[in-house]
Amino acid sequence: MAKNKLNKNWLHDHINDPYVKLAQKEGYRARAAYKLKEIDEQEKLIKPGQIVVDLGSTPGSWGQYVRKKMSGKEGGGINGTIIGLDMLPMEPIADMHFILGDFREARSLRALDAILQGRKCDVVLSDMAPNLSGIPTADSARMEHLIDLAIEFSQFHLKPSGALVVKCFKDMGFSQIVEKFRFEFKTVKQVKPKASRDKSSEIFLVGRGLKNPTEKNHAADDESALDI
């Protein structure tokens, strides 16, 4: 009974959520688009001509927002490159490259390299979150692991002056994650968009300027998944 009540409460809140209604009106696939919009408007991250990679891009609302920043009408071409990677399928977005697969695996990285052609990214985005077990220590470890992966990806693929945006949760090893960001990036900011639900401990970290970029291409020789 309690679970059914929680589901009903969530559904009621979701249906009446102003950002859900706005997303439906403006054609975004998820309300998450407005989180990125607020972060971008505050930090001025995304500009025409850039290369932007979206880790865990499905269902695609962040990709849709980036595309709007780089272009005009649907199907009219863009000034820049947008690449999404996800283990889950995603409905196509005009002018956006999509790689289905685990971005730790050599096959996905080779597909990425084929698009980048030696170029580095201006912005790496990650709205990834783990499947929660309800065990705080395990969930914190899973969240930290995902952010470690996003940082490692950025070390290889981000321009030294580029930016990484990741989703975190205040109750999931947040202080350790902030310290990792401070170790890897010259400037680190915390952003809590208004589009994040009040009840949620969700917060986003924006890291700018890599301290320790890696030049080696780790997709070149490895035929199997990275052992992480």
Specify the pLDDT at position 199. 81
| One pLDDT digit (tens) per residue for the chain, 228 residues | 555 554 655 454 556 788 899 999 998 999 999 999 999 999 999 999 999 999 999 999 999 999 999 985 555 689 999 999 999 999 999 999 999 999 999 999 999 999 999 999 999 999 998 888 888 889 899 999 999 999 999 999 999 999 999 999 998 889 999 999 999 999 999 999 999 887 889 999 999 999 988 765 554 444 433 332
C-alpha 215/C-alpha 210 separation (Å) is: 12
Question: Which tokens is 44 given?
Answer: 């001025």
Active site residues: 167
Architecture of domain 30-210: 3-Layer(aba) Sandwich (3.40)
Annotated ligand binding at 139? The verdict is no
CB–CB of 67/95 below 8 Å?
yes
Specify the pLDDT at position 77. 84
CB–CB of 207/181 below 8 Å?
yes
Annotated ligand binding at 10? The verdict is no
Specify the pLDDT at position 31. 93
Specify the pLDDT at position 110. 96
Phi, psi of 78 (to 5 degrees): -135, 160
- pTM, rounded to two decimals: 0.87
Annotated ligand binding at 122? The verdict is no
Report the largest interatomic distance among the alpha carbons of the chain, rounded to a whole angstrom: 55
Annotated ligand binding at 77? The verdict is no
Annotated ligand binding at 95? The verdict is no
